[in-house]
Amino acid sequence: MIYLHQDPLLPYKSAFTTKKLLFAYYQAASIEKPEEKAFNNCDRFIHFLEHGGVYLDQARQAPLAIQPTLAFYGLTHLIKACLLLNDPDYPTSSQVLAHGLSTRKKKKQGYRFLQDEVRTQRNGLFPHISDKLFHVKQLEGTKFNMKNLLMQIPELNELLRFHFQHSAFITLIKKESDTYLLSKDIIDDYKMTDNRFTDYLSEKTKGSIEMMNHSAESFTMNCTNGRFVPPFRYNCLENQWTVSRHKTDEAFYPELLIHFALLYNLSMIARYETEWWYEMLKLTPNEEYSFIKHFIDISIFKCPVLIDQYLKSRC
C-alpha cells in the first residue's frame, strides 16, 4: 500500500506563484515598493515553509520524546512565512526573535501538565504574531492554562468527553452553501437568552455570522464571508465545523496561537524537565499522557492546514 501525505502548502512553494501572491497582497495593503518587497521576500517565504515542513516531517517519524521540540520549531517557521505578508521587513529588531512566552522555571513536586500555565511577555514572536497576523494585542503577563487551551482543539473532543464526561464542542449541521444549524444547547452553556446570544456572537465574530432565524431546537445562521472565526473551529478528523461550549478567553483565540502556546510549553518540558517528561512517557500515570500524545499527533498534521487557511483568508 502506498501512503500519500498531501501537503496543503505545496501550491505556495512555486516562486512564480508566490511572487505574484506577495505583490498582490502588498499592493492591496498599500505597502511601499510592493514589487521590490515581493521579489526580496519570495525566496524567504518559500524557505520558511520548506524548513517548517522539514521539521514537521521529522516530527512525524520521531519518537514522542522529541516530537514537541520538532513540532514547535516546525510551526515557528511556518508562522514566519505568514509574517512576511503583514510585516515584509521582518525581523526589524532582535526583540521579536525571542519566543514571547515564559514557563515556570522549575516544576514543583506533584506537577500536573493540565494545571500548568504559560505567560505572555512584552516582546517576542508570540505577541508579534498575535498583533501582526490576528490584530490581537497581548497584555504582558497574561496567563494561559494548559487544560483550557486543550479544550479549544476540536479533534480532542472525544478524549475530553471520555475523561471529563462533557463535550467541549457542538458540531454545526450544514444545510446549504454557508448556512448551518446550531443546537440551542449552546445558550445553556453560555447562560444567555436567544437574543443575547445572537448579539454576543455577532459582536465576537465582528459580524461574520448572521443569525437568520431560529426554532425551539436550533439557530439557523449564515457565515457571511465564507470563513468562520473563533469560537468556531474546524475539526479535521470529522471534516466538520464546530463551536466551543466554553465561553473562556481562550475560546476566542485563533487556533494557531493555541497550538503555538501548547507546543512551546511541551517543547520546554521535553528539553528541560527530562525527569518528569520520561516518567510521564514510560509510566503513563494519568490522563495527561493521552492528551499530550493525541494533541501532538493532531498538531503535526493540522498546523500546515491552519497555515493554509490563514494564507487563503489573506490572499
The pLDDT, as a whole number, for residue 283 is 87
User: Does residue 205 register a pLDDT over 50?
Assistant: yes
Q: pLDDT tens digits, residue range 25-52?
A: 999 999 999 999 999 999 999 999 999 9
C-alpha cell at 118: 504559560
C-alpha cell at 79: 508562522
* Residue type (1 letter), 192: M
Q: Are 171 and 313 in contact (CB under 8 A)?
A: no
The pLDDT, as a whole number, for residue 216 is 82
Mean pLDDT lowest for which of 161-175, 256-270, 293-307? 161-175
For 11, residues 6+ apart whose C-beta sits below 8 A from its C-beta are: 17
Q: Are 255 and 156 in contact (CB under 8 A)?
A: no
The pLDDT, as a whole number, for residue 5 is 60
- What's the CA angle centered on 210, arms 204 and 214, to 5 degrees? 110
User: Does residue 106 register a pLDDT over 80?
Assistant: no
User: Does residue 219 register a pLDDT over 80?
Assistant: yes
Q: How far is CA 57 from the centre of its chain?
A: 19
User: Does residue 81 register a pLDDT over 90?
Assistant: yes
The pLDDT, as a whole number, for residue 286 is 82
* Local confidence band at 1 (pLDDT 50, 70, 90 cut-offs): very low
CB-CB neighbours of 6 under 10 Å: 7
* Residue type (1 letter), 220: T
**Residue recorded with cell 513540532:** 71
CA separation for the pair 298, 266 (Å, rounded): 14
- The percent of residues in the chain predicted with pLDDT above 70, rounded, is 97
The pLDDT, as a whole number, for residue 227 is 79
Q: pLDDT tens digits, residue range 125-170?
A: 999 999 999 999 888 899 999 999 999 999 999 999 999 888 999 9
Residue 180: its H or E element:
strand 179-183
Q: What is the mean pLDDT of residues 248-264?
A: 95
CB-CB neighbours of 222 under 10 Å: 16
- Residue 195 CA: distances (Å) to CA of 187, 192, 213, 238: 10, 8, 11, 30
For 284, residues 6+ apart whose C-beta sits below 8 A from its C-beta are: none
C-alpha cell at 84: 512576511
Helix (H, G, I), strand (E, B) or coil at 225: coil
pTM: 0.94
- The percent of residues in the chain predicted with pLDDT above 90, rounded, is 73
Q: What is the mean pLDDT of residues 90-99?
A: 91
User: Does residue 2 register a pLDDT over 50?
Assistant: no
User: Does residue 220 register a pLDDT over 50?
Assistant: yes
C-alpha cell at 51: 524548513
CA separation for the pair 255, 262 (Å, rounded): 11
